[in-house]
Structure 1
């Protein structure tokens, strides 16, 4: 029997530690704007684009999924 793969490593930046916690706490899919609100960030282009790029990086590492364009979620086990 093969042992399960370890979870992918999160990047070191503190935002990458906070994002999965928000998804775990809210237990729902989120748009970038929703995540900015949950992180108490102003809804301005600078912040939403920064968070969007972080979400895309987490998707590329298999930590999150993009259920549909712009809608992110934790993968189901």
Structure 2
């Protein structure tokens, strides 16, 4: 969640992988994307556009 603490703009799954020092491979990006969508379903993150994720603003 620290990845989303500082950016002003929503992040894509690839940018999250880069921020977490995860190897940039299609399987890793898809895995991170699925986890981000899981967090959206639980209300922890918001998907502002298709594939762009951020924390909800109060």
TM score, norm. by length of structure 1: 0.70
Runs of 4+ in 1 over 4 A off after TM superposition: none
Superposition CA RMSD, Å: 1.0
The alpha-carbon deviation at position 43 of structure 1 amounts to: 1.1
Structure 1 residue runs of 5 or longer lacking an equivalent are 1-19
Count of residues in correspondence between the two structures: 58
Higher relative contact order (CA 8 A, sep 6+): 2
* CA displacement 1:11-39 (0-9 Å, x = unmatched): xxxxxxxxx11101334310011100000
The aligned counterpart of 2:45 is 64
TM-score, normalised to structure 2's length? 0.91
Whose radius of gyration is greater, 1 or 2?
1
